[in-house]
Structure 1
Amino acid sequence: MSSAKTRILTGLLALFISASAMALPEDRNQPIRIQADTAELDDRQGVAVYRGDVVITQGTLRITGNTVTITQDQNGDVDVFTAVGKPAYYEQQPAVDRPIVQAYGLTIQYFAVDERVVLIDQARVVQEGNTFEGEKIVYDTRRQIVNAGRAGTEVSTPRPRIDMVIQPRNRPAEQNP
């Protein structure tokens, strides 16, 4: 790899680390690791494309896909990254006392500034035994809010309705008189 490409890759990784403000505070302070078969970096356009069983990890954050594209804004900060797979996958622990959230979709977009994950086509989020499925799911990682519904675009598996399973909360055993 040429020194120019190495500088671009290092710059993109540093920007991605600084832009990531998801879930556990320790995550954004961890190094990012990107594994892929190939990487194409375009510094002028602010775009990096990774292909071939891509795995991105940072602390408890893990994203996988066949292709992951990372774009930067005009200031050089990471704006959006998009993972495409069969399905693409996202997981992260939202807080020290909470279990890992898992999310799937044929396309997953992470908007760094908003700390928002958008799952499109065969979208599914699993959190504490609860499942949310639909054509499109928007997961606000900061507020831990999930919205599910129709994609509004053509999808491989149309779902006229969302499907949710919500587990009962554990209640203290009632005391016998």
Structure 2
Amino acid sequence: MKQLINISALLAGLIISQHALALPDDLSKPLTIQSNEAFLDQKTGIATYKGDVFVKQGSIEIQAQFLKVTTDPKTRKFSKLVATGKPAKFSQQIDWNGNMMISRGEQINYEVTSSTLDISGNAYLNRMDDKITADHILYHIDTGTFNAKKQGSGRVSMTLQPADDKKEK
């Protein structure tokens, strides 16, 4: 059964990945963070934000109740953002046509260097009207592929839209 779920996720990922995957200049934009509280330790490169956190970087937007940002103190490059909330939300424009990838979960780990989203706790991902729900979703932004799984009882649920023949001609 678990193998069937992984194969289904792989097939869905292949169907989804035939589209553009993300805007290339998002990570070159400044990271703007708003919150009710903020703490920064410049020696460790770790910053925490609490209360109505809103993040914007290019087309990327994150909403959460708590956010931890890890930055390399020497290069000042962001390497990881961990957002938690009920739910935490992450969205990004995935192509120049304005199509979006929207996700939510109780915790979202955004690994900047590997371009992955690790969504857990009532995880949800909507990409170009294809929808996936599971307890845990690991989404690879650069390739548009994912691995979704339920923990305990339950199932992974996917809704995949058929290809639009009109758009492909």
What band does the TM-score fall into relative to the shorter chain?
Answer: 0.7 to 0.9
Tell me the distance in 2 between the aligned counterparts of 1:124 and 1:75.
Answer: 35
Compare relative contact order (CA 8 Å, sep 6+) and give the higher one, 1 or 2.
2
2:13 aligns with: none
Give the alignment's Cα RMSD to 1 decimal.
1.9
| Equivalent residue runs for 1:1-177 within 5 Å | 23-73=22-72, 75-76=74-75, 77-97=77-97, 99-150=99-150, 160-172=154-166
Q: 1:159 to 1:136 in 2, by over 3 A?
A: farther
Runs ≥4 residues deviating over 3 A: 73-77
Q: TM-score, normalised by structure 2?
A: 0.78
Tell me the distance in 2 between the aligned counterparts of 1:58 and 1:74.
Answer: 19
Tell me the distance in 1 between the aligned counterparts of 2:153 and 2:90.
Answer: 21
Runs (5+) with no aligned partner, structure 1: 1-21, 152-157, 173-177
Q: 1:120 to 1:49 in 2, by over 3 A?
A: same
What per-residue deviation string (whole Å, max 9, x for no partner) do you get for residues 45-94 of structure 1? 22100011100011211001000001134755322110001000000012
Whether the 8 Å contact between 1:107 and 1:120 is mirrored in structure 2 is yes
State the aligned residue count: 145
Whether the 8 Å contact between 1:150 and 1:159 is mirrored in structure 2 is yes
Tell me the distance in 2 between the aligned counterparts of 1:46 and 1:30.
Answer: 19
Whether the 8 Å contact between 1:125 and 1:133 is mirrored in structure 2 is yes
Whether the 8 Å contact between 2:51 and 2:66 is mirrored in structure 1 is yes
Q: TM-score, normalised by structure 1?
A: 0.75
2:17 aligns with: none
Tell me the distance in 1 between the aligned counterparts of 2:107 and 2:25.
Answer: 27
Give the AA of the match of 2:29.
Q
Identical amino acids, percent of aligned pairs = 28
Whether the 8 Å contact between 2:105 and 2:119 is mirrored in structure 1 is yes
Deviation at 1:117, TM superposition (A): 0.6
